[in-house]
Amino acid sequence: MDLALIRLYRSTRDPRRLEKLVVRFRPMVRHVAQQHARGREPIEDLLQVGLLALVKAIERFEPQPGASFGAFARPTISGEIKRHFRDHTWDVKVPRSAQELHVRVSRARAEHPDATREQLASILELTVQQIQDAEAVQRAYSADSLDFRSAGDEGSTLGDRLGTVERGYREVEDQDEVEDALSILGPRDREVVQLRYFDERLQREIGTEIGLSQMQISRILNRSLMDMADHLDTDSAIVVADDDAARSA
């Protein structure tokens, strides 16, 4: 009957017949999915992967007399589910070779739960370092959230403990604000502010360069800083301690 259904679908390509085949073999797919179910991967997700693999098997199977579709489809379904675990269920992507090593060591650990690393290395013909590497790969499969708190820990989260203040972000923001505030100044006032606070020139040096007195330069600076602060909507005016007079004494 199975071969007849597959032949009928292959000859007509009727999607309704394909749906009937999928419904017929769905219990087999679920059984294979349950055999591979582990960890946090929902069984329904594995079932969907298995059903897609079932359709591939239906398309590839040659319904010759005496052939068994179940015997042909099971390895295809199992292989697709294993590939799903390999490619889509790791929180941190690791090389395929590391994943395969992890699987080998995990299976050996399940069979020999009391074995030491040295004994497992001997059983699998690996080095102790390879055993340690395989065990470390497990941490890449399921990573903790940055909001994770260990049991009984009412303090900081993992993100709080690992995170740092990135000064570069604040510096970029400050630079943008300064450039925005400078844009409201006239050409002469902007030049005075830049010479004083970017080039760190003395007020008397600036005055000599542009033909103004030190007192005029001081007034330009005070007025400019007040205007810039108002433009940025700060709660108070920018106050800059200027010991220029002391340095020039």
Eight-state DSSP code of residue 155? S
Reply yes or no on whether the pLDDT at 48 is more than 60. yes
Q: What is the value of pTM for the model shown?
A: 0.41
| pLDDT of amino acid 81 | 85
Q: Which CATH number fits domain 2-88: 1.20.120.640, 3.50.30.30, 3.30.1490.20, 1.10.1740.10?
A: 1.10.1740.10
CATH code for the domain defined by 168-248: 1.10.10.10
pLDDT band at 237 (very low <50, low <70, confident <90, very high): very low
Reply yes or no on whether the pLDDT at 117 is more than 60. yes
Q: Where do we find the tokens 């959230």?
A: 145
Reply yes or no on whether the pLDDT at 149 is more than 80. no
Which residue in 50, 47, 55 sits closest to 17, CA to CA?
55
| pLDDT of amino acid 236 | 41
Report the b/e string of 218-231 with b at 16+ CB within 10 A.
bebbeebbebbbee
Across the chain, what does the average pLDDT equal?
79
Domain residue ranges in the chain: 2-88, 96-161, 168-248
